[in-house]
Amino acid sequence: MAKGKKKLDSKSYAQQKRHRRQWTTFMRMCRYGINNFTRNAWLTIAATAVMTITLFVIFTSVVSRNVLIDTLTSLRDNVSMSIYLKTETTPDDAKKVAADLGKESSVLSVDTVSPQQARDKYIQENKLDPQSLEVLKQATNKFPWTLNVKVQDINNTTQLSDFVKTNQTFLANQDPDHQPSFAGTRRATIESIGNAANFAQKIGIVVSAVFVIVSTLIIFNTIRMAIFNRREEIQMMKLIGAERSFIRGPFVVEAIVYGFFAALIATGLGAAIVIIAAPGLKMYFNIQPTIDALTFYAGFVLLGMIFMGALIGIISSLMATRRYLKL
């Protein structure tokens, strides 16, 4: 029994000793990596600057995408696609058309405005304009039924177009003097905004990908030059039996440090530009939700940027050490 306990204590001691050795090795790799970061100032500045630009472009692309999405969502919530029925349409037929519209999967809501409601609204809006009211009293034409439709995607009105062509109740009561609003100039304007947003999003993805590749290559060359400058030191470490992870580790840590500082600079610079430019952008875009998100989730945004920078650095350093150290 005592022998078994002694054997167990010996095994536990060996595990503790191995863990302490691993921790010591890890701390040494971190220290060597940080020292490598400060060895060559010009290489460090160049690598950090390029990675900062890369992360800044990624940050800008994500923020721009969110602003465009929020703007389009705001447009969707405030823009209704209008469909018109003849003034003589019965309330039952108008309700049936509205109910059929509400069954379409792309439709969020349908608001029905009767001719009398439309007339009262017009009078209310123009009560201070006697000339408009006089024209209204003398006008022979009447207000049509109006169905204001909100859709999930303002760039996709396929179901609405099919509806006005196939629904029998609508066709029987369609107002020939008023075409659906989603076929007019307002629709063209909304489509142009949506197309511009999609284009900007694609351009942002392409530019971010290009800068990620460029940054990875520059970090790769920086690590390669560091390996070349310390080739005798590395060869000596290999000869005395240093583990592969110990030789590779400092270079990985060095690249992660590049990414860490680049993430801090890029996030701070990007957030500052967004906040400074917000007053001017608010005239054209719905930017407030993005600013609120950046403020509330600032820590998570920074962690995400640090992770991105570290990931680029790790990939670059592993490529360099695998090829040039032949580990």
Torsion sign (Cα): 174, 175, 177, 179: negative
| Segment among 60-69, 121-130, 200-209 with least mean pLDDT | 121-130
Terminal CA-to-CA distance of the chain, rounded, Å? 46
C-alpha angle 153/154/157, rounded to 5°? 90
Q: How confident is the model at residue 256 (pLDDT cuts 50, 70, 90)?
A: confident
- Write out pLDDT tens, residues 192-239: 766 766 676 677 678 777 877 877 777 777 777 767 766 676 777 777
Check pLDDT > 80 for residue 109: yes
Q: How high is the pLDDT of residue 265? A: 93
pTM score: 0.64
Q: How high is the pLDDT of residue 264? A: 92
- Write out pLDDT tens, residues 68-103: 777 777 766 666 678 888 888 888 988 998 899 888
Torsion of CA 52, 55, 60, 63, to 10 degrees: -140
Mean pLDDT confidence for 141-149: 81
> Cα–Cα distance between 148 and 165 in angstroms, integer?
17
Contact assessment for residue 258 and residue 33, using Cβ atoms and an 8 Å cutoff: no
Give percent above pLDDT 70 in the chain. 77
Check pLDDT > 70 for residue 283: yes
Q: How high is the pLDDT of residue 269? A: 92
Paired tokens of 190? 């909304």
- Write out pLDDT tens, residues 312-324: 888 877 777 776 6
Q: Is 241 left (phi over 0), alpha (psi -120 to 50) or beta?
A: left
Which of the listed ranges 43-47, 263-267, 293-297 does the model predict with the highest average pLDDT? 263-267
134 versus 140: which is more confidently predicted? Answer: 134
Map out the domains of the chain with their CATH numbers. 36-73+192-324 (no CATH), 87-175 (3.30.70)
